[in-house]
Amino acid sequence: MTFLLLGVNHKTAPVEVRERLAIPAPRLAEAMRRLAQHPGIEEGIVFSTCNRVEILVASANGAADLRGFLRDYFATDVAAYESHLYEHREREAVRHLFRVASSLDSMVVGEPQILGQVKEAYATARAVGAVRSQLDALVTRAFAVAKRVRTETAVGSSAVSVASAAVELAKKIFGTLHGKSVYLVGAGKMSELAARHLMAQGASAIFVANRTHERAVALAGRFGGQAILFEQLYETCDRADIVLTSTGAPHALFRREHGELFLQRRKNRPMFFIDIAVPRDVDPEMNKLDGIFVYDIDDLQAIVAGHVADRRREAERAEVIVTQEVERFLARLETQTVVPVIVSLQEQMETIRQAEIDRVRGRLGRLTPEQEQAVEALSHGIVNKILHAPITTLKTTAGQPEATTVIEVIRRLFNLGDDKKAGS
Amino acid sequence: MSLLWLRVALVFYGLGLVYALAALGGRGKRMTRIILPAMGTGVVFHFVSLAEAVMASGQLAPATIHQSESVFAFLILLLFLGMYGRYQTLSPGIFMFPLAFLLTFAAAMGEAPPQFASAALRSSWIATHVALIFTGYAALALSFTASLLYLVQERSIKSKQTDGLMSRLPALEVLDEMGYRALLFGFPFMTLGLLAGSVIAQEQFGAAYLRDPKIVLSLLMWVVYLVLVYTRWNAGWRGRRAAFLSTFAFLVAVGAWAANYFSVVHRFLGP
């Protein structure tokens, strides 16, 4: 049994290629069913996300033609994509899957979505029967590895986008964002994104003010928020706990005196200004007020840069874990392939031994307990001596390339039959 | 026996001390799962110890300095556990655990402690006075801890150095509220405790007791306490200013406590 993996990802292929090979979610089940029926393939699973398309199969003889499957499935000439494809076998295929599931192969290392995507693919593959014992063991092991990486390293723990860094800071100030209100000053793309992050964490009551009022109305509509005339900005701003500014104003909109006014109206409840405009909308002097916290785009980016460096360091530790886990998985797999043969070999011999003793007992008549013991010992001794060499050979070849041949030969020589095939 | 249980409690509090040191070194994470059960168990043994002491002496008021230290440590941890129930944060333990450990350690040493000789101590007025005041002190200590953590956290956010040692502290608003709640909780205890104390003093010394340094400091502490609660409630003082004021209140309280050693009226030691 061999694991094979063929695929493209964001590192090897531009989006034009990835989208060409992507299989949309509704068609994944059908694709996996066809994959599992492809000649030479026992089991198969397909991962198709925006950053990768990968086919992973378990093949009995290791000669599955994955390119052939791609060619048939897409009815296209895969040779055109050859330079973007990567192929891994056995150990490297296992390692690759572990790295993907642990988000070490992601564009943003440590992002948590990939594990969910792998889990979805696994559920689909199981449902259509494309994944059974072999791949099941491998993929569920990948989940365990991903979990270990997540708990033992900090690879996924820090914010690596400006928006998530802003959310993290807001939580440091307010604890929970539930019931906190957000004021968007300027209706840009970036502030919309950050607002979505804040709302996903429970922030409510969105206000939007924009110089062009229509855009404020449109954006407020998308959030179920309230559009406010730009002229009323200073009268209404104290209602917000978090103010996100992104206007194109040439001078600071919010200065120290505004901050003092807001604090007075708010009875000093804290305010968090996130200023992603360049030139800045918030005078940095405001940060000196007790109860007002100002972060501009450089501050946020500095946090992100620090976190990216942290992640890189943590990713190195994660790689060590993955290497350990690959070795552990393969070692277990190797012994698993020979164990059933050893067991059926021993069972076979025991059956023969018992049959022979029963046969000879009729002729020997009553035996004394000592004689009975001697017969048992003699027959056991012979069987063990005969089995010693084949069992040792099986154990030593476990994991070697010739293991399959050895297993096959021993099955045939001892007439073990195929019904107890490894793992199935 | 009372001392034995106290020493058992001390062992558990020792874990708290280790936790606090580890947390300061940024390595407290591993202990978070055991620390709460450990401290809870310690508090139970501590309670047994206090109950036995009361039964042995037949009086509610602590009979020695050591016993009063023990009571104080017990109250501090009780408040800490209450706060944990409300805010789910271990951070105040960084200060509260070592404080409770030191107090209990002194109490558990067991060398012949100075007795409170005065007969007045046997009255239940005194027991009430001590219990109320100590609860007030414990609340102030907790408020002080929250304030310190607030100032550290506020500085790190303002200076935009949010990583590093203190990055796992609770959010600012949580610390702020925690400090305030502790104050609100402690204030009535402190007020009633001081009233009970002045009733006793009035009876024994007449109006002269007002000039005693201990009394002056205690009154000052109470006024600061009152100002704290008032500014917070009415003027909306919070954040850094409130944290500084709360720190100041705690320092005055320490002064009032220390005044025991040069007070005429408020003497623990026999003449």
Contact A175 B239 (CB under 8 A): no
Using a CB–CB cutoff of 8 Å, tell me whether A291 touches chain B: yes
A120-134 confidence digits (pLDDT tens): 999 999 999 999 888
What pLDDT score does A15 carry?
85
Q: What is the DSSP string of A164-177?
A: HHHHHHHHHHHS--
pLDDT for A209 beyond 90? yes
Smallest CA-to-CA distance from B3 within B75, B108, B100 is with B108
Q: CA of B255, closest CA in chain A: separation in Å?
A: 29
Q: Which helix (H) or strand (E) holds A244?
A: strand A242-245
pLDDT for A421 beyond 50? no
A239-250 confidence digits (pLDDT tens): 999 999 988 888
Interface test with B, best of A290, A299, A314 (most B CBs within 10 A): A290
What pLDDT score does A78 carry?
80
Interface test with B, best of A172, A298, A310 (most B CBs within 10 A): A172
B1-49 confidence digits (pLDDT tens): 677 888 888 888 888 888 877 776 556 666 777 888 888 899 998 888 8
Residue A32: pLDDT band with limits 50, 70, 90 = very high
Chain A residues with CB under 8 Å of B160 CB are 295, 299, 302-303
Smallest CA-to-CA distance from B86 within B218, B197, B178, B223 is with B178
Chain A residues with CB under 8 Å of B170 CB are 175
What pLDDT score does A279 carry?
87
Distance, CA of B185 to chain centre: 12
What span, in angstroms and rounded, lies between the C-alpha atoms of B46 and A210? 62
Residue B110: pLDDT band with limits 50, 70, 90 = low
Using a CB–CB cutoff of 8 Å, tell me whether B7 touches chain A: no
Q: Which two tokens stand for residue B58?
A: 């037949």
Q: What is the DSSP letter of B264?
A: S
Residue A95: pLDDT band with limits 50, 70, 90 = very high
What pLDDT score does B51 carry?
86
Percent of chain A with pLDDT over 70: 98
pLDDT for B118 beyond 60? no
Whole-Å CA distances, A355 to A309, A343, A358: 70, 18, 5
Using a CB–CB cutoff of 8 Å, tell me whether A179 touches chain B: no
What span, in angstroms and rounded, lies between the C-alpha atoms of A376 and A370? 10
Residue A423: pLDDT band with limits 50, 70, 90 = very low
Candidate from A1-5, A280-284, A312-316, B57-61 with smallest mean pLDDT = B57-61
- Torsions phi, psi of A285, nearest 5? -55, -30
Contact B163 A299 (CB under 8 A): no
- Torsions phi, psi of B53, nearest 5? -65, -40
Contact A295 B160 (CB under 8 A): yes
Using a CB–CB cutoff of 8 Å, tell me whether B29 touches chain A: no
What pLDDT score does B271 carry?
31
What span, in angstroms and rounded, lies between the C-alpha atoms of A126 and A132? 7
Using a CB–CB cutoff of 8 Å, tell me whether B179 touches chain A: no
Number of cross-chain residue pairs from A and B with Cβ atoms under 8 Å apart: 49
Contact B171 A175 (CB under 8 A): yes
Q: What is the DSSP letter of B113?
A: P
What span, in angstroms and rounded, lies between the C-alpha atoms of A134 and A336? 11
Q: Out of A173, A267, A287, name the one closest to residue B173 (CB).
A: A173
B88: amino acid identity, one letter: Q
Angle at A33 between CA A28 and CA A37, to 5 degrees: 145
Q: Out of A175, A269, A293, name the one closest to residue B158 (CB).
A: A293
The CATH number for A162-304, chosen from 3.40.50.1950, 3.40.50.970, 3.40.50.720, 3.30.530.20, is 3.40.50.720
**What is the sign of the dihedral through the CA atoms of A361, A365, A369 and A371?**
negative
Q: Which two tokens stand for residue B236?
A: 């909306």
What span, in angstroms and rounded, lies between the C-alpha atoms of B250 and A93? 63
- Torsions phi, psi of A275, nearest 5? -110, 100
Asked if A241 and A182 count as a contact pair (C-beta separation under 8 A), the reply is yes
Chain A residues with CB under 8 Å of B86 CB are none
Interface test with A, best of B30, B150, B153, B158 (most A CBs within 10 A): B158
What pLDDT score does A295 carry?
93
What span, in angstroms and rounded, lies between the C-alpha atoms of B163 and B173? 19
Q: Out of A169, A176, A269, name the one closest to residue B162 (CB).
A: A169
- Rounded to 10 deg, the angle between the A162-174 and A189-200 helix axes is 50
Q: Out of A173, A268, A291, name the one closest to residue B171 (CB).
A: A173
Q: What is the DSSP string of A336-357?
A: HHHHHHHHHHHHHHHHHHHHHH
Find the catalytic residue in A11, A14, A19, A50: A50
Residue A289: is it exposed, middle or buried by C-beta count within 10 angstroms (0-12/13-18/19+)?
Answer: buried
Candidate from A75-79, A205-209, A246-250, B126-130 with smallest mean pLDDT = B126-130
Candidate from A5-14, A181-190, A313-322, B24-33 with smallest mean pLDDT = B24-33
Q: In sequence order, which residues have a C-beta less than 8 Å from that of residue B88 and are 6 or more positions away? A: none
What pLDDT score does A424 carry?
38
Asked if A62 and A134 count as a contact pair (C-beta separation under 8 A), the reply is no
What pLDDT score does A184 carry?
92
Contact A174 B236 (CB under 8 A): no
Chain B residues with CB under 8 Å of A175 CB are 170-174
Residue A226: pLDDT band with limits 50, 70, 90 = very high
- Tokens 């440091």 — which residue? A172
Candidate from A2-16, A150-164, A384-398, B139-153 with smallest mean pLDDT = A150-164
Work out the average pLDDT over A6-25.
87
Distance, CA of A323 to chain centre: 16
A256-304 confidence digits (pLDDT tens): 999 999 998 988 899 999 998 888 899 999 999 988 999 998 888 888 8
- Tokens 């040439």 — which residue? A250
- Please name the residue ranges forming H helices in B25-113: 32-57, 65-87, 93-108
Q: Which CATH superfamily is domain A2-152 in?
A: Glutamyl-tRNA reductase, N-terminal domain (3.30.460.30)
Using a CB–CB cutoff of 8 Å, tell me whether B26 touches chain A: no
Chain A residues with CB under 8 Å of B174 CB are 175
- Please name the residue ranges forming H helices in A398-420: 403-413
pLDDT for A339 beyond 90? no
Q: CA of A412, closest CA in chain B: separation in Å?
A: 55
pLDDT for B270 beyond 80? no
- Torsions phi, psi of A123, nearest 5? -60, -45
What span, in angstroms and rounded, lies between the C-alpha atoms of A350 and A255? 91
What span, in angstroms and rounded, lies between the C-alpha atoms of A65 and A35? 10
- Residue in chain B lying closest to A307 (CA): B163
pLDDT for B247 beyond 90? no
Residue A422: pLDDT band with limits 50, 70, 90 = very low
Chain A residues with CB under 8 Å of B158 CB are 287, 293
Chain B residues with CB under 8 Å of A176 CB are 171
Chain A residues with CB under 8 Å of B159 CB are none
What span, in angstroms and rounded, lies between the C-alpha atoms of B202 and B192? 15
Candidate from A10-24, A136-150, B249-263 with smallest mean pLDDT = B249-263
Q: Out of B157, B162, B236, name the one closest to residue A267 (CB).
A: B236
Whole-Å CA distances, A93 to A143, A321, A330, B107, B165: 15, 16, 11, 64, 40
Using a CB–CB cutoff of 8 Å, tell me whether A157 touches chain B: no
What span, in angstroms and rounded, lies between the C-alpha atoms of A166 and A307? 13
What span, in angstroms and rounded, lies between the C-alpha atoms of B50 and B43? 10
Average pLDDT in chain A: 87
Smallest CA-to-CA distance from A30 within A124, A117, A131, A120 is with A124
- Residue in chain A lying closest to B88 (CA): A175
Chain A residues with CB under 8 Å of B236 CB are 266-269
Higher pLDDT pick, A403 / A328: A328
Contact B162 A291 (CB under 8 A): no
Asked if B161 and B167 count as a contact pair (C-beta separation under 8 A), the reply is no
Q: What share of chain A is helix, strand, coil (3-state, %, to 5)?
A: 60, 15, 25
Q: What is the DSSP letter of B248?
A: H
Q: In sequence order, which residues have a C-beta less than 8 Å from that of residue A117 and are 6 or more positions away? A: A47, A49
Distance, CA of A1 to chain centre: 24
Higher pLDDT pick, B88 / A83: A83
What span, in angstroms and rounded, lies between the C-alpha atoms of A130 and A370? 58
What pLDDT score does A418 carry?
60
What pLDDT score does B261 carry?
66
What pLDDT score does B164 carry?
57
Q: Is A237 a catalytic residue?
A: no
Using a CB–CB cutoff of 8 Å, tell me whether A306 touches chain B: yes
In 3-state terms, what secondary structure has residue A282? strand
Contact A268 B237 (CB under 8 A): yes
What pLDDT score does A323 carry?
94
- How large is the ipTM? 0.71
pLDDT for A43 beyond 50? yes
Asked if B172 and A268 count as a contact pair (C-beta separation under 8 A), the reply is no
Q: Which of residues 91-150 of B touch A (CB under 8 A)?
A: none
What span, in angstroms and rounded, lies between the C-alpha atoms of A210 and A212? 5
Asked if A36 and A130 count as a contact pair (C-beta separation under 8 A), the reply is yes
A417: amino acid identity, one letter: G
Residue A216: is it exposed, middle or buried by C-beta count within 10 angstroms (0-12/13-18/19+)?
Answer: buried
What pLDDT score does B163 carry?
65
Q: Which of residues 236-265 of A touch B (CB under 8 A)?
A: none
Query: Rg of chain B over CA atoms, in angstroms?
Result: 19
Using a CB–CB cutoff of 8 Å, tell me whether A394 touches chain B: no
Q: What are the structural domain ranges in chain A?
A: 2-152, 162-304, 338-413
